[in-house]
Amino acid sequence: MLEDVFAFADEALPGTKVMPPYSEAQFLAELGNRVRSARMHCEMSRRELARRSGISERYIAQIEGGKGNVSIVLLLRLASAIHHTQPKARRNGA
């Protein structure tokens, strides 16, 4: 998704009325899905993500639901909290 945004930015000229490849609502929904997927991959609750990122659990729920218009700084805090957590190893009967 980020690659699409960069590709679009490279193509668009400043001052043009070119529309992004998808609506803001679609972008926020996709972003929320990715945050949720990353959190769940690490088997982390919203409460734990809130604790680690300093962002309220309620606001994380809004972001994951595609309703929160999240800033770059908050995205950085979410990404840092998620990526500093390793996915739990699956047990193979051992």
Specify whether the CB–CB gap between 42 and 87 falls below 8 A: yes
Q: What is the pTM assigned to this prediction?
A: 0.68
Instruction: Give residue-wise pLDDT tens across range 4-45.
Output: 555 555 555 455 455 556 688 888 898 999 999 999 999 999
Q: What's the burial of 93, exposed, middle or buried (CB within 10 Å: 0-12/13-18/19+)?
A: exposed
